[in-house]
Chains A and B, each alone.
Chain A
Amino acid sequence: MRSVVLRFGLIALAMLLSFSLIAETLALQSFESLPDDTWSYTANPVPSRLIYWGPTTEAMGGASAYDGSSYWAGWDLDNVESTVTFSTLTLQAGFTYNVSFYYFTKNLATTNDYCRYSVKYDNGTNWDGWTNVANNSNAWTAVSVDVPSGSNYLRMCLSSKFDGSTKYAHWDYILVERTPIPNTAPVVSNVTASQRTDGSKLVDIYYDLYDANGELCDISLKISADGGANYNIIPSPANLSGDFGDDLPNGTNKHIVWNIGAESYGLDSSYLYRVYADDGSSPIPENFLLVEGGTFNPPDWDGSPTSYMVTLTSFYIDKYEVTQASYQAVLGTNPSFFNGNPNYPVEQVSWFNAIEYCNRRSMQEGLTPCYSYGANGTNPSDWPTGWSYDDANHTNVSCNWSADGYRLPTEMEWMFAARGGIHSQGNTFSGSNDINDVAWYSSNSASRTHEVGELSANELGTYDMSGNVWEWVWDIMDGYPSGNHTNPTGPISGSPHMGRGGSWNFSAEYCTVSFRAGISATSMYLHVGFRCVRVSP
C-alpha cells in the first residue's frame, strides 16, 4: 500500500511538472486564413500571380501544403527580392521561445538565387543576419530557431529571389512556441558595494537581477563582518533607499544606497555584502514589516529605565495605522469622525471593535482568527449580542497567540516596534527625537488626523507610531513587573486597556514611545485607532 501511494504521488508530481513545462503556441501562420493563423505579416511585393508570390492551394513544383491545404508559394520571381515580414511579438519573461517553419525549394541556383530568413530579437525594422536555406530541398524541410533567453521581442522575415519558371521557394507552418521555464531561483549577480569618499557614510550597492520565471522579487541585504561565516549585519530598512524591498522586476545595474551613518553602529573593517532576491512568495503580509525578535529594557512611562527585561520573538506589524478604507472593507462601516480621505486612520473604535476587525479580517483572508469570546468560538457573528457594549466583557476575550491571523500587538510588541526593534536608536519618539519629523500632534496637526504614512518612518519602516491616533494594544493596564519576561501579554484581569503613541490632539510628552495611557475597552474616541500584528513563521 505504501509503495502504491508513493508511486501515485511521484507520478502525479511528474505529471504536474511535465504539464507545467509543456510548450504552447504563441503565434502561428499556416496561410489557411483560419483563426489559428495569428502571426500577421506583410508581403512585398503583394501576392501576385504574375510572378507567383503568395498563398496557394495549388501544387507548385510538386509541392503541396505541409499543413492544411494552403502554403506560401514563390515561383519565377523575376529576380525581384520578395519578402514576407511577420509582425513583432512581445515576449513575456518566464518562458523559453522557439520559432520554426518549413520550406520547400526547387532548382534554385547556388549563386545569385536565394531563399533565406532573418530572425531578430528587438523591436526595430532593419533586417540582417540572413540565413540561406538549401537551394533544392525538393521536400518540406524544418528550420527551428531557439530564441535567446532574456529576449523581449521576436520578429522574422522570409525572403526569396530568383528567376525562372522551373524554380520554386515555398514556406509553410510558421510557428512560435513558448515553454514555461521551471520555477528557478532568481539570480543576483555583479554585486558591488563601495562607500563614498565624501564623508557622507553612504554606500552604493549595485547588482543585476534576473528571475527566469519573470517573477517580481523581494530584495534584502545582509552584511558579513567575518568573511562570510555569518551575515548578521542587517541594515535598518529606514536607512536603505533605491532598488530595495518588495516586488522588483528583472534588471541590471540596480542601485541601493545604504546610509550607514544613520545606523546606531559604525563599520571599520572589511565586509561582504550579500543581496538576496526572493521570487515573490514572501510570507510577509502586504503592508506589514518583519520585526525581528530581540531583548530590550522597556522604559517606564516617563522614559526612565525599569528593571524589566523583555525578550520578544519575531512578528509582523502593520506599517500603518489601520485606515478607514481597510476598516470599511472588513466591517462594512466607518465610524471615524474625520472623513474625506480613506487613508486617514480609523478612529472612534473601541478595543472591542479592534478585536472584531482582527478576527473578521483574518476570516476574510483565510487565516486562523486569534481571538475567541468565551466558549463562543472565533467568529464574531457567533458571539452574544452586546458582547462589545460592556467594559466588563473584555476579559471574556482570549487570544490564541500561535494563530496566524491578525491581532492587536501586546504592549511590549508595540513598544519594541515603536522604538525601532533591534535597530532602535533610542529616540524619544518613534523614529526621531524631533517630534515634528514623525508625528502629528497638538502643535502641528491642525486639530485633525492625517493620512497615514505622510511623515517619516521609524527605524523599522513603520509610520505614525507617535501621534496621529492613539493605538489600542492587547494589554490590560498595570505597572511593569520586574525581572525578565519572554513575550509578556500583560495582566489577565483588571482594567482598562492600554493605548500607546499619543495622537493629533495631545502634546509631545504624550507621544513618546514610552508613554502609557489607560482607556476603557468600550471607549470610542476620535483620537484612538489601532494597528495589527501577525505571528512570524
Chain B
Amino acid sequence: MKTAMLLCILFMFGSGLLALTGYGTTAPVINDTVDPSLSILSPNGGETWYIGDTNDIIWTASDTNLSPNSVYLWYSLNGGTNYTSLAEAIANGGSYPWELPSPQSYNAKVRIKVSDSFGNFTQIASASAFTISYVPPQEPTGVSVNTANGIDAVITWQPVTQTIYNTPITPDGYIVLYNESPYEHDEHFYYYLWDVTSGTSFTHGGVMRRRAEMFYRVVAYKDYDGRMAGILSAARANPETKLSVADIKQALVSADMGGEK
C-alpha cells in the first residue's frame, strides 16, 4: 500500500504533473471608478432670474479624488438643446456668481460638469427650466375707480417709476383689465380692455349702464424688445377677441424667447 503510494508520488514527479504557482504583487494602487457625486441646488428649475442681475449658481460635488479646477459651467436658453460655456476649469467652490445675460428665456437651464483625477466625471443640468427675464416694472399702486357720473367708470392709478429692483424706469404703458368677478388670482378672468394708455387713468365708458359691478386690474409693462407692441397691435386689429394677461404671457413664451412685461 505504502509502496503504491510512493510510486504514485514518483509518477507525479516523473510526469511533470506537479503544478507550481508563482505570483507577483504590486505596490498599493489607487483605483477610482466611481463618478463624482454632483447636485445642483440653484437654479434647479422654477426660478426667475433677471437679466443684468447677479445670481449664484450653487452646487455640491464630492469625490474621493476630485480633480482641482475641474468644474465646468454652461447655460442653455432652449431647454438644454444648446449650451453656452459659462466657466471652465474652476475650483469646486460650490457657487459661481453669474450676471444674467440677455435675451430672455422661459426655458433656461444650467449644466455643470465635475471630474476626478481618473477622468471619471458627472455632468448634470438643472432638473427643470428656470426663467431669465427682463426686470419688470413695479406694480401700479393707488388704483381707484370713480363712478360718480353713474355712467362711466374712471380708473386711476399712481405712475410707476421703478423696477422691482428700485431702478428708475418709465413704463411703456399700462393695460387695464376688467372682470365682473373678483378672481384675484386667476389671470384668465382679467380680460384686456380694448386700449392701453401711457397715462394714469382710463375711462370705461357706459359700463354703469350695462353691469351691476365690475372689477379692474392695472398692469404696467415695459416693452424691451418691441414684441409687446406687436401683440397689442394684433389685438387691436381684432377687437372682438378678448385677450387676457395669461394670453399675452403665453404669446411671449411661445415666441421662443420673451418675457413678461
Contact = CB atoms under 8 A, between A and B. Distances in A.
B16 A281 contact: yes
A279 B20 contact: yes
Given A16-B10, A279-B20, A274 B25 contact: yes
A199 B6 CA distance: 57
Interface string A222-262: 00000110000000000000000000000000000000110
Contacts of B10: 9, 12-13, 16
A281 B12 CA distance: 11
Interface string B10-37: 1001101111111111111111111000
Given A8-B3, A9-B3, A281-B16, A195 B21 contact: no
Given A12-B6, A191-B24, A267 B31 contact: yes
Nearest to A206: B26
A2 B9 CA distance: 17
Interface stretch (A75-83, A160-168, A180-188, A347-355): A180-188
Nearest to A6: B2
A272 B33 contact: no
Contacts of B26: 191-193, 205, 272-274
A125 interface: no
A110 to B, nearest CB: 50
A9 B18 CA distance: 18
B23 A188 contact: yes
B117 A190 contact: no
Contact of B21 (A17, A185, A228, A267): A185
Contacts of B27: 192, 272
Contacts of A2: 2
A276 B21 contact: yes
Interface residues of B, dominant DSSP: mixed
Interface residues of B, number: 33
Contacts of B2: 2, 5-6, 9
A188 B22 contact: yes
Interface stretch (B49-57, B83-91, B118-126): B118-126
Interface string A198-238: 11110101011000000000000000000110000000000
A510 to B, nearest CB: 35
A270 interface: yes
Contacts of A188: 22-24
Nearest to A186: B22
Contact of B118 (A183, A184, A197, A278): A197
Interface string B101-120: 00000000000000101111
Given A183-B16, A195-B30, A199-B115, A8 B22 contact: no
A504 B14 CA distance: 48
Given A8-B3, A195-B31, A266-B33, A13 B13 contact: yes
Interface in B143-202: none
B234 to A, nearest CB: 52
B141 interface: no
Interface in A37-92: none
B119 A200 contact: yes
A207 B26 CA distance: 9
A64 B121 CA distance: 83
B241 interface: no
Interface string B63-101: 010000000000000000000000000000000000000
B209 to A, nearest CB: 74
A277 interface: yes
A482 interface: no
A185 B34 CA distance: 37
Given A5-B2, A13-B9, A13-B10, A268 B31 contact: yes
Contacts of A187: 22, 24
Contacts of B14: 16, 20
A189 B24 contact: yes
A278 to B, nearest CB: 5
A425 B165 CA distance: 56
Contact of B120 (A9, A183, A184, A201): A201
Contacts of A272: 25-29
Interface hub of B25, B32, B64 (most chain A Cβ within 10 A)? B25
A194 B120 CA distance: 15
Contacts of B32: 195, 267-268
B24 A190 contact: yes
B121 A228 contact: no
A282 interface: yes
A185 B33 contact: no
Closest 3 CB pairs of A and B: A199-B119, A281-B19, A188-B24
28 contacts: A5-B6, A8-B3, A9-B6, A12-B6, A12-B10, A13-B13, A16-B13, A17-B13, A186-B20, A188-B24, A192-B26, A192-B27, A197-B117, A198-B119, A208-B24, A268-B31, A268-B32, A268-B34, A270-B30, A271-B28, A271-B30, A272-B28, A273-B26, A276-B23, A277-B21, A277-B22, A281-B18, A281-B20
